[in-house]
Amino acid sequence: MNGGVDLFEKIPTGVEGLDVMLKGGLIKGRTYLIKGGPGTGKTILSMHFLVEGAKRGENVVYITLEEPENEVRENMETLGFDLSNVTIVDLSPTSGHPIFSSLMGFESGIDVKTFENILQDIIGDNIDRVVIDSITMLKVATPTETEYRASLLRLMRTLKVKFNATTVLISELGNGVEDYLVNGMIELRTIEVKGRAVRGIKIVKMRGSDFDETIRPYRITNRGIEVYPDLSVFEV
Ligand SMILES: Nc1ncnc2c1ncn2[C@@H]1O[C@H](COP(=O)(O)OP(=O)(O)OP(=O)(O)O)[C@@H](O)[C@H]1O
Ligand SMILES: [Mg+2]
């Protein structure tokens, strides 16, 4: 027992209500998974996390593997996000980036070295926050689960050891081996309450930290995501 003392440095996610649920934020230098169905706000949540870092003068990177950069920018700018200090790396199918064709070559799974080189070329050694949106593409491009597990672990290790970056991976709903590998997992859900669809956010796991285990309601507004840490999904 540590008497409730936090042993790790926590960094705010940029969503106040979520930070309350997380008792301060995410642990620096670790890898987290945000999971949710389509349109539940995964990209928006991850952008809050990056913009918060950028505001603090950190080096932050958003890697898109699905939505093209210009669409991500348009969507996020309508929500008032200032992306001027967020580096966007476009590895989406329409980007023509060679990593995409190598992924689709079904050869070696996640090419960690190429990932590392891309990050290093663009940012250098000093990266504080990284988002990979989404890992689903990496997963389908890896022939076996064993290889996927090994390469995901290599990628997580590189991001930690080389860059000491706090990483957010985004994935679709459904169970996967990544659930067990990451240090923490947050799910965005749509729950039916009295015949109404309510958005709910749930922290599924958070190694090394106490957290609020209740599903809390959240909304997506024209300023992004708002989490209500004092309400239950039955009260909204
Ligand atoms: N101005 C707004 N007001 C209210 N809700 C909004 C607004 N802008 C976006 N949304 C909501 O946010 C959702 C999109 O958020 P986001 O792109 O983060 O979802 P996602 O989980 O990343 O989706 P996908 O799985 O398709 O990538 C929309 O489906 C919509 O419900
Ligand atoms: Mg998205």
CATH number of the domain that residue 170 is part of: 3.40.50.300
Atom 2 of ligand 1 has which residue's CA nearest to it? 222
Query: Looking at residue 198, what is its pLDDT?
Result: 96
Q: Is the CB of 38 under 6 A from ligand 1?
A: yes
Query: Looking at residue 100, what is its pLDDT?
Result: 63
- The vertex-221 CA angle with 220 and 225, nearest 5°, equals 45
Atom 25 of ligand 1 has which residue's CA nearest to it? 38
Q: Which atom of ligand 1 is nearest to the CA of 38?
A: 25
Query: Token match 């790396």: residue?
Result: 89
In a domain, 201, yes or no: yes
Q: Does pLDDT of 168 surpass 90? A: yes
| Average pLDDT of the residues in 78-104 | 83
In a domain, 17, yes or no: yes
Q: Which atom of ligand 1 is nearest to the CA of 78?
A: 1
Query: Looking at residue 4, what is its pLDDT?
Result: 59
Query: Looking at residue 207, what is its pLDDT?
Result: 96
In a domain, 167, yes or no: yes
Question: Are the CB atoms for 12 and 158 separated by under 8 Å?
Answer: no
Angstrom distance (rounded) from CA 128 to CA 50: 9
Query: Looking at residue 21, what is its pLDDT?
Result: 98
Q: Does pLDDT of 167 surpass 70? A: yes
145-154, 163-172, 212-221: least confident range: 145-154
Q: Is the CB of 221 under 6 A from ligand 1?
A: yes
Q: Does pLDDT of 228 surpass 60? A: yes
In a domain, 4, yes or no: no
Query: Looking at residue 12, what is its pLDDT?
Result: 98
Q: Is the CB of 175 under 6 A from ligand 1?
A: no
Query: Looking at residue 154, what is its pLDDT?
Result: 87
Angstrom distance (rounded) from CA 7 to CA 141: 38
In a domain, 93, yes or no: yes
**Measured in whole angstroms, how far is the alpha carbon of residue 213 from the centre of its chain?**
19
Reported as a single tens digit per residue, the pLDDT across 12-51 is 999 999 999 999 999 999 999 999 999 999 999 999 999 9
Three-state DSSP state, 230: coil
Distance (Å) from CA 150 to ligand 1 centroid = 32
CA distances from 233 to 24, 139, 167, 175 (A): 22, 32, 28, 23
In a domain, 232, yes or no: no
Determine the residue of 33, 34, 35, 42 to mutate for testing ligand 1's pocket, defined as the one with the most ligand atoms within 8 A of the Cβ atom.
42
Three-state DSSP state, 185: strand
In a domain, 234, yes or no: no
Which one, of 77, 90, 25, lies nearest residue 56 by Cα?
25
Question: Are the CB atoms for 203 and 168 separated by under 8 Å?
Answer: no
Please indicate whether residue 152 or residue 170 has the higher confidence score (pLDDT): 170
In a domain, 1, yes or no: no
Q: Does pLDDT of 106 surpass 50? A: no
Three-state DSSP state, 42: helix
Q: Write out the H or E segment, with its range, that includes residue 87.
A: strand 86-90
What is the number of domains present in the chain? 1
Q: Which atom of ligand 1 is nearest to the CA of 67?
A: 27
Phi, psi of 35 (to 5 degrees): -120, 145
Angstrom distance (rounded) from CA 206 to CA 195: 31
Q: At a CB cut-off of 8 Å and minimum separation 6, what does 208 contact? A: 7, 8, 27, 30, 183
Output DSSP code: residue 142: S
Residue 59: domain span: 10-227
